[in-house]
Amino acid sequence: MGGKLRFDIEDNGEEFSVVGKFTVLEQPHRISFTWHCSTWGDPDLESVVTIEFEETGESQTLLTLEHALLPFDLLEQHEHGWIAIAAQLDEVLRQRYSTPQGG
């Protein structure tokens, strides 16, 4: 593994970045990567994100996300961020895969 990743994020006018390295890539079921945010004071602080995909029915997939090794004082901030990202993903997928009404 070891491929690098970077997310540039804008949240309520604040811009920051997240960097990491892929640690697991088991297509199409699981991906894991390290996570370090540019707003963190400790440059050595690193957490781990694991995302699993499970087919639950025709055209349905359950996404499970675990963000481990995250310091307690960062939990609420990251919970807010992941909820926002999940909502954005839901909206994009609904727009892309919804069937036209009456047509």
DSSP 12-25: TTEEEEEEEEEEEE
Kindly report the CATH number that applies to the domain delimited by 4-97: 3.30.530.20
Instruction: Quickly tell me which residue has 């992941």 as its tokens.
Output: 82
pLDDT (tens digit, 0 to 9) for every residue of the chain, 103 residues total?
A: 679 999 998 888 989 999 999 999 999 999 999 999 999 989 899 999 999 999 998 878 899 999 999 999 999 989 988 998 999 999 998 898 886 655 4
Give CA–CA dist 78/27, Å, rounded.
Answer: 25
> What's the pTM?
0.84
Task: Locate 90 and state its tokens.
Answer: 């839901």
Give CA–CA dist 32/40, Å, rounded.
Answer: 20
